[in-house]
Amino acid sequence: MDVNDVGFYAVVNINLTLIFRMIQGLSPIRMNLSKIREYETPFGASIKYMKLAFALLVLYMGIPLTSFFATSIPLTVLYVIYWFATVLWWHYFTRCLFDQCFYISTGTSASLLLGLTFFFYSHEWDVFVWLIPLCWSCFTLYVSTWYRNSYANESFISV
């Protein structure tokens, strides 16, 4: 793994993130957080720090991408689907659609767990670089579950 490759793939991931936001019909940079800010936040979660952690995750994803991006087409396709879902989570989260957030974060967490199981047996050195995205997916699962259980049956905010 070359440091120049990590920087290059971090830029590739930033571009993928911006493209996915535009595909969703949203501003690539700005997120409207006015609805979600009206809700109480779960323990250990802050919207400000979640945005910061996601920005760091976008940069960090250059490290795992160096191991397979464009050299293994099936893994690249799976990554693009995973990352699209990860970016899509923010779209549903900012619109307070907590059921969709729950389903997306469950899917990303489960897919990373299955992927890590596969990598453990085939590419042992790749497993540890995927632990940070797994932690992010589990954190979004926690946040989604908390909001879903706290506000799913209430019409706290009219959409």
d(Cα 84, Cα 96) in Å, to the nearest integer? 19
Instruction: Report the pLDDT value the prediction gives residue 123, as an integer from 0 to 100.
Output: 63
Instruction: Report the pLDDT value the prediction gives residue 159, as an integer from 0 to 100.
Output: 46
Instruction: Report the pLDDT value the prediction gives residue 145, as an integer from 0 to 100.
Output: 93
What are the tokens at 55? 């920005």
Instruction: Report the pLDDT value the prediction gives residue 116, as an integer from 0 to 100.
Output: 79
Report the half-sphere exposure of 81 (CA within 13 A, side-chain side).
10
Instruction: Report the pLDDT value the prediction gives residue 124, as an integer from 0 to 100.
Output: 60
Cα separation values, 23 from 55, 62, 133, Å: 19, 21, 22
Q: Is residue 111 within 8 Å of 127, Cβ to Cβ? A: no
> Where do we find the tokens 């990598």?
119
d(Cα 75, Cα 115) in Å, to the nearest integer? 10
Q: pTM for this one? A: 0.83
Return averaged pLDDT per consecutive 10 residues of the chain, 159 residues in all: 77 89 82 84 87 92 80 81 92 91 94 80 71 93 92 55
d(Cα 139, Cα 133) in Å, to the nearest integer? 10
Instruction: Report the pLDDT value the prediction gives residue 127, as an integer from 0 to 100.
Output: 74
d(Cα 14, Cα 83) in Å, to the nearest integer? 11
